Amino acid sequence: MFPRPIEHQSRSIQISYQVLVPIALILWLLPLIGVAVTSVKPASDLAAGNYFGMPSSLALSNYADVFTNSPIGQYIWNSFKVTIPTVIGTLVLSCLTGFALGIYKFRSNVWIFFMFVAGNFVPFQILMVPVRDMTVNLGLYNTTTGLVLFHVAFQTGFCTLFMRNFIRALPRELIEAARVEGVSEIQIFWYVVLPLMKPAIAALAVLIFTFIWNDYFWATVLTTSKETQPVTAGLYSLNGQWIAQWQLVSAGAIIAALPPVAMFFLMQRHFIAGLTLGAVK
Amino acid sequence: MSLASTETHSRSWWRENQQKLTPYIFLIPGVIFFLVYVIIPIFESFWLSAYSWDGLGEKEFIGMANYAELFDDEAFYTSLKNNVIWLVLYLLAIPAGLGIAIFLNQKVPGMRAYKSLFFFPFVISQVVVGLIFAWFYAPGFGLFYMIIEKVTGSEIAILADERFATYGIIVAGLWPQIAYCMILYLTGLNAVDPEQIEAARLDGAKSFKMLWYIILPQLRPATFLAMVVTVIGALRSFDLVSIMTDGGPYGSTRVLSFYMYEQALSEYGYRMGYGASVAVVLFLIMMVFISGFIWKMVGDERKGL
């Protein structure tokens, strides 16, 4: 293990380490803690110059205010309407492509694989004008459907890479044995490979959920009204309306951050497994 | 009778060829989606960059005029310069992430919780990160502002000051990026071969030498991945600029991706062609890195096969 395990060090080093870690954590999260505290401060505290002290009373009313006086509930709902279909669509497509590229040997395999990989690295700004134009022409501009279609397509690149590498690592004998038994290819996919892909599916589901929930660029490019905009784009316009009302901005920011955070803490192991794929040989 | 026989015939035909055909059938939906929404638009952008177009009316072919205009465009150079600053400073996330990972790589009760809390900034949206840091820097009451005022006695509104605004945004961007690199290295450190470490310890290798000669070479896959995501992150940067300064003050914090958005969908009339030409430049810069990355991945793939 590197660095040398702390258990082998002197008692005083161990204690100072255990003191140091929480301090470092507080410093690291200081901006976030500040915003969290601000979000429960009554407006009068801020007016009176109490910026850093404890709130004089716990003003959960800020959260209620955000929900009643702004369309944030609608924004959150829109985010779900974009995120969940995208997760499902991407997983379906990439299970198929990953299976095809991971199991079969055919001439164009490597080329198709690298098309997905390369497309995934592209600065997506280069897609903006054509994709926006196409979405307008399809009559899907300013709809959640338009946003979902694009996200599904773009995320399929990354997910194909992930799925294909995952399937490659499965024992090939399983598939060979099934073929000898006369099982059809489609049954192999459905009954042999798909059940083994559960960890990959779980990891990608959380990752895609977080990526799409947090997307801001495409939300601003493809949607414009509060009936369709996800919460990231919504926060931008609310921030414009709530000038200097930091207790509201903070509460809104915390609300918008909660779903992916909850997702992360619930499915932490899968999340990190997905993110660090390829970090170890 | 004949119907049944063609059916059995086609069935056996399928059965004989299914291993050849299945991959194509499975690929069709994904490939079509990806071509339509990703690959073809890349070429379309190249093509559009030779036109003058407001997004609605007729496209007018103007050849290289958009690029000629870029050449004399002050705002374009500002954006380009800022992208370079972003790229260079963003790379600091890699050593910083490694540092935190080494600091946290201990087996102490509660360590798992600490690690996930350190990772926290990566999970939240860049929009939220931007708002958090805007609050942090806010003149008059922001925490950072107050600290600077206490320490130096001067009042600096980071995001309203042309000299500092870009750096202020980059610091906000580094926060989640360091967290990402940290988690990559934590995973990498987990897989480091303990026997090699013991052997090196017996040879008397001390901490820094050990890190440089024994640990870092084994962390190479993590470093590669950290490099890829950091470079891409730096060149794609848009969210934070849009949220924190909207390109200002006086356009001094623009980056290429923001400038292209601004030009293409500007409130003074859409300039889709000009925006596309900015995107093409960004794409070409990215290509230099992408081809390097892909080259390495192809090499690894060959070795693997």
Q: Is residue B55 part of a domain?
A: no
Residue A126 is nearest to which of B19, B106, B280, comparing CB atoms? B280
SS3 A169: coil
Please work out, in degrees rounded to the nearest 5, the angle formed at the alpha carbon of residue A145 by the alpha carbons of A143 and A146.
70
CA distance B240 to chain A (A): 10
**So what's the pLDDT on residue B78?**
93
Contact B144, B137 (CB under 8 A): yes
Burial A246-261 (b: 16+ CB within 10 A, else e): bbbbbbbbbbbbebbe
A135 contacts chain B (CB < 8 A): no
Average pLDDT, chain B: 88
A111 contacts chain B (CB < 8 A): no
Structural domains of chain A sorted by starting position, each given as residue range(s) with its CATH number in brackets:
6-60 (no CATH), 70-275 (1.10.3720.10)
Residues of chain A with C-beta less than 8 angstroms from the C-beta of B298: 114
SS3 B61: strand
Q: Express each pLDDT in B106-144 by its tens digit.
A: 988 888 899 999 998 999 999 999 999 998 898 877 888
Q: Are residues B222 and B110 in the same domain?
A: yes
Residue B264 is nearest to which of A30, A35, A129, comparing CB atoms? A129
Strand ranges for chain B from DSSP E: 51-52, 60-61
Average pLDDT, chain A: 89
Dist CA B49 CA B278 (whole Å): 8
Q: How far apart, in Å, are the Cα atoms of B38 and each of A84, A97, B221, B275?
A: 21, 16, 27, 17
Q: Are residues B228 and B266 in the same domain?
A: yes
A106 contacts chain B (CB < 8 A): yes
Residues of chain A with C-beta less than 8 angstroms from the C-beta of B222: 276, 279-280
Instruction: Check whether B2 has a pLDDT greater than 70.
Output: no
**So what's the pLDDT on residue B1?**
44
Supply B69's token pair: 């205009």
CA distance B3 to chain A (A): 23
Confidence of residue B27 (pLDDT cuts 50, 70, 90): very high
A55 contacts chain B (CB < 8 A): no
Last residue of a domain, one of B31, B48, B65: B48
Dist CA B44 CA A129 (whole Å): 9
Supply B17's token pair: 């060829």
Q: Are residues B29 and B137 in the same domain?
A: no
The 10 Å Cβ neighbour count of residue A210 is 24
Residues of chain A with C-beta less than 8 angstroms from the C-beta of B42: 119, 122, 126-127
Residue B120 is nearest to which of A22, A29, A239, comparing CB atoms? A29
A4: DSSP letter: P
Chain A residue with minimal CA distance to B230?
A121
Q: Which residue has the higher pLDDT, A255 or B14?
A: A255
**So what's the pLDDT on residue A122?**
86
The 10 Å Cβ neighbour count of residue B236 is 20
Q: Is residue B196 part of a domain?
A: yes
Find, among B276, B37, B160, B170, the residue nearest to A146 by Cα: B37
Structural domain span for residue B186: 73-304
Q: Is residue B273 part of a domain?
A: yes
Q: Where are the alpha helices (DSSP H) in chain A?
A: 11-28, 30-39, 43-47, 61-69, 72-103, 109-121, 128-137, 144-168, 172-180, 185-187, 194-196, 198-214, 217-222, 231-241, 246-266, 268-275
A155 contacts chain B (CB < 8 A): no
Q: Express each pLDDT in A24-50 by its tens digit.
A: 999 999 989 988 888 888 887 777 777
**So what's the pLDDT on residue B259?**
93
Q: Are residues B213 and B130 in the same domain?
A: yes
Which CATH number belongs to the domain containing residue B216 in this structure?
A: 1.10.3720.10
Residues of chain B with C-beta less than 8 angstroms from the C-beta of A22: 114
Q: Express each pLDDT in A174-224 by its tens digit.
A: 889 998 988 888 999 999 999 999 989 999 999 999 999 999 999 999 999
Dist CA A150 CA A134 (whole Å): 10
Supply A231's token pair: 């919460």
Q: Is residue B183 part of a domain?
A: yes
Number of domains in chain B: 2
Query: What is chain B's length?
Result: 305
Q: List phi, psi (to 5°) of B54.
A: -95, 10
Q: Are residues B236 and B185 in the same domain?
A: yes
Residues of chain A with C-beta less than 8 angstroms from the C-beta of B40: 130
Q: Are residues B215 and B148 in the same domain?
A: yes
Dist CA B17 CA B227 (whole Å): 43
Q: Are residues B38 and B78 in the same domain?
A: no
Residues of chain B with C-beta less than 8 angstroms from the C-beta of A190: none
Dist CA A17 CA A20 (whole Å): 5
Q: Do A114 and B298 touch (CB under 8 A)?
A: yes
A157 contacts chain B (CB < 8 A): yes
Confidence of residue A167 (pLDDT cuts 50, 70, 90): very high
Residues of chain A with C-beta less than 8 angstroms from the C-beta of B229: none
B51: DSSP letter: E
Q: Are residues B119 and B157 in the same domain?
A: yes
Q: Express each pLDDT in B35-55 by its tens digit.
A: 999 999 999 999 999 988 887
pTM (2 d.p.): 0.90
CA dihedral A186, A188, A189, A194 (to 10 degrees): 150
Find, among B179, B177, B190, B180, the residue nearest to B106 by Cα: B190
Q: Is residue B54 part of a domain?
A: no
Residues of chain A with C-beta less than 8 angstroms from the C-beta of B192: 1-2
Q: Do B37 and A127 touch (CB under 8 A)?
A: yes
Instruction: Check whether B278 has a pLDDT greater than 90.
Output: yes
CA distance A239 to chain B (A): 8
CA distance A127 to chain B (A): 5
Dist CA A76 CA A62 (whole Å): 17
Chain A residue with minimal CA distance to B26?
A96
Contact A253, A40 (CB under 8 A): no
Instruction: Check whether A261 has a pLDDT greater than 50.
Output: yes
Supply A204's token pair: 């990608």
Q: What integer is the mean pLDDT of A54-66?
A: 83
Chain B residue with minimal CA distance to A233?
B127
Q: Are residues B126 and B34 in the same domain?
A: no
The 10 Å Cβ neighbour count of residue A143 is 18
Instruction: Check whether A57 has a pLDDT greater than 60.
Output: yes
**HEC profile of A176-200:** HHHHHCCCCHHHHHHHHHHHHCHHH
Q: Are residues B156 and B297 in the same domain?
A: yes
CA distance A81 to chain B (A): 17
Q: Is residue B286 part of a domain?
A: yes
**So what's the pLDDT on residue B210?**
86
Q: Are residues B106 and B219 in the same domain?
A: yes
Q: Are residues B85 and B39 in the same domain?
A: no
The 10 Å Cβ neighbour count of residue B229 is 17
Contact A123, B279 (CB under 8 A): yes
Find, among B176, B173, B146, the residue nearest to B158 by Cα: B146
Dist CA A18 CA A6 (whole Å): 10
Most confident of the ranges A126-130, A195-199, B91-95, B294-298: B91-95
